Amino acid sequence: MSARVDLLVVGAGPGGLVAAATAAEAGMLVGLIDDNPSAGGQIWRGGIAEENPEAGRLLRRIQSARAETRFGWRAIAAPAPRVLRVERCGEFIDIEYNSLILATGARERFLPFPGWTLPGVYGAGALQAFVKSGFDIGGKRVVVAGTGPLLLAVAAHLRAAGARIVSVVEQAPLRTLARFSLGLLNGQTAKFVEGAGYAIRTVGIPYRTDAWVTSASGSEGLEKVTISSGSRTLEVPCDMLAFGYHLVPNTELAQLLQCELEAGYMRVDELQQTSVTGIYCVGELTGIGGVVKAKIEGRIAGLAASGQFDRAKPLFKERDRHVRFAHNLDATFALRNELRNLATANTFVCRCEDVPYDALAQCGSWREAKLHTRCGMGPCQGRICGPATEFLFGWTPPAPRPPLFPVEVETLAHTTDVTA
């Protein structure tokens, strides 16, 4: 990749791919990087024997224009204004850009409960990703639990791959879900149909609402989960638990670049531009709204970065509709208070450093917890325990510092070397 591009796009999911294709076809020299080994992001993850067709089509459009792509590379620092340092396996380069589009997506929110560190307990989207990446789930008894529209999609996919879905456990109340589904009928027909499709494919699977997993147990790996459902407590034998409490945006890079947050998401104007001129955010960074929202925001940002404002304007209305949908999702799948009481005194909250709940409960802030317990100081740098402690204790993790990911010592040692 040239050390200098007109537009750098970080993240090759739907938003990033559309943004890169739009700008590249307008004649800009575009750089596209992604931490993953291939294009598509999480939602367009291909199987081991196939690429996702939509991701493939967009990638070929990008690669046939004036663009360069790098997979397996991640942004770790911003050594100078309009320069991003990207790294892979100890190798790094600095890329200078005029404009930057961030499409760094989202991760699952994990809330700690007794047994959540046992082998056999995975993220919901994660287990789907493992199956797409070669893991044979045939015959495994799986509980899918947490909150959010992802749960049904995961259950449907795992079942199609041969898993026995024992139960889908959704913490949101049925009343809220019903209101949400009716809202979908009003102007979100496509999403309603998609949701209904999942519901039909998961017919026969016990779908519990107002319910959540309180613990997981087993001697060396998962053997059963305990579910709180209404006034009842159920013990459910299973081989795997796939769980996640909706999604949280990966805002670390945008924050490092001084872009401002608003209620947990990146604040953008109608052209997707952040508080920093020339830096745009698209997709889950501006609200968890899924693939259609990401694509239209990617299109708007790609048009804006290439100066085609008139072509962006007609897209605002539809984009705004998807942003409202994202707000509705957050409200529908808001976390219930009972989930704050799942972790017991010795439940690890920080998995990197094995910091138990009671050590954290004695601290007054994220900073204090970090100093006294090493919470958040492991390799995930608080990406897993940060959202958890935010929910459990109301702590706000401070803005991230470089390097954004752990890097090898040589990479750090050479930080002033390459600026050409």
Question: How near is the Cβ of 54 to other proteins at its closest, in Å?
Answer: 11
Closest separation between CB of residue 118 and other proteins, Å?
8
| Interaction of residue 353 with other proteins, rule CB under 8 A | yes
> What minimum distance in Å lies between the beta carbon of 396 and other proteins?
19
Which of the stretches 46-54, 79-87, 313-321, 332-340 binds other proteins when contact is defined by CB under 8 A?
A: 46-54
In the bound complex, what is the minimum distance in angstroms from residue 239's beta carbon to other proteins?
11
Please identify, among the stretches 119-127, 292-300, 329-337, 358-366, the one whose residues bind other proteins according to the rule CB under 8 A: 119-127
Asked if 217 is part of the footprint of other proteins (rule: CB under 8 A), the reply reads no
Contact 158, 167 (CB under 8 A): no
46 interacts with other proteins by CB under 8 A: yes
d(Cα 86, Cα 199) in Å, to the nearest integer?
A: 42
Residue 177 makes contact with other proteins by CB under 8 A: no
Does 195 participate in binding other proteins (rule CB under 8 A)? Answer: no
Nearest to other proteins of 55, 95 (CB atom): 55
Interaction between residue 49 and other proteins (CB under 8 A): yes
Residue from 2, 64, 117, 419 touching other proteins (CB under 8 A): that is 117
**Binders of other proteins in range 266-305 (CB under 8 A):** none
* Residue of 2, 27, 64, 119 that binds other proteins (CB under 8 A): 119
Of 31 and 296, nearer to other proteins (C-beta) is 31
- The answer to whether residue 366 forms part of the interface with other proteins (CB under 8 A) is no
Nearest CB to other proteins, comparing residues 125 and 149: 125
184 binding other proteins? (CB under 8 A) = no
Q: Are strands 265-266 and 261-262 parallel, antiparallel or unpaired?
A: antiparallel
Of 27 and 138, CB closest to other proteins: 138
Q: Considering the rule CB under 8 A, would residue 255 count as an interface residue with other proteins?
A: no
SS (H, E, C) the chain: CCCEEEEEEECCCHHHHHHHHHHHHCCCCEEEEECCCCCCCCCCCCECCECCHHHHHHHHHHHCCCEEEEECCEEEEEEECCEEEEEECCEEEEEEEEEEEECCCEEECCCCCCCCCCCCEEEHHHHHHHHHCCCCCCCCEEEEEEECCHHHHHHHHHHHCCCEEEEEEECCCHHHHHHHHHHHHCCCHHHHHHHHHHHHHCCCCCEECCEEEEEEECCCCCCEEEEEECCEEEEEECCEEEEEECEEECCHHHHHCCCCEECCEECCCCCCECCCCCEEECHHHHCCCCHHHHHHHHHHHHHHHCCCHHHHHHHHHHHHHHHHHHHHHHHHCCCCHHHHHCCCCCCEEECCCCEEHHHHHCCCCHHHHHHHHCCCCCCCCCCCHHHHHHHHHCCCCCCCCCCCCCCCHHHHHCCCCCCC
Q: How far is the CB of 232 from other proteins (least distance, A)?
A: 29
Contact mark string toward other proteins, 224..253, x via CB under 8 A: --------------------------x---
For residue 34, what are the contacts with CB-CB under 8 A and spacing of at least 6? 10, 11, 12, 13, 16, 41, 69, 70, 71, 72, 73
Question: Least distance from C-beta 86 to other proteins, angstroms?
Answer: 14
Q: Does 358 bind other proteins (CB under 8 A)?
A: no
Task: Tell me which of 1, 25, 82, 130 binds other proteins, using CB under 8 A.
Answer: 130
x-marked contacts with other proteins along 61-80 as a string, rule CB under 8 A: ----------xx-x------
Binding residues (CB under 8 A) for other proteins: these are: 35-39, 42, 46-52, 55-56, 59, 71-72, 74, 89, 107-108, 110, 117, 119-123, 125-131, 133-136, 138, 162, 220, 250, 348, 351-354, 378-380, 383-384, 406
